[in-house]
Amino acid sequence: MSSDYPAIPYEIVKRNVLENTPMIKAWREHLGMTQKELAEKANITQPAIAKLERHNSNPRQATLKKIAAAMQLVSGAA
């Protein structure tokens, strides 16, 4: 079965589903980034990243797009 979307690495799925790690944190750590590094690349603050990595966060779509681009998880990412 083929898809237009790349597969999510097993390690990220495992951390999110089995270890209950928030998805942004699982991706960030998988990529070897600190909160500060991600914040700088996404042009947001480190405390904002920490807040987004909590389970009860409700980020805006624009913020999620900045984070995805900073982690190069979207086509055309900077």
* DSSP 8-state secondary structure symbol assigned to residue 19: S
Q: Which pLDDT value is given to residue 10?
A: 95
Annotate 23-52 with b (16+ C-beta within 10 A) or e (fewer). Answer: ebbbbbbeeebebeebbebbebeeebbeeb
**Weakest-pLDDT range from 4-8, 64-68, 73-77:** 73-77
Residues 25-46: tens digit of each pLDDT:
999 999 999 999 999 999 999 9
Domains of the chain listed by start with CATH number: 10-70 (1.10.260.40)
pTM, two decimal places: 0.83
First CA to last CA distance, the chain: 30
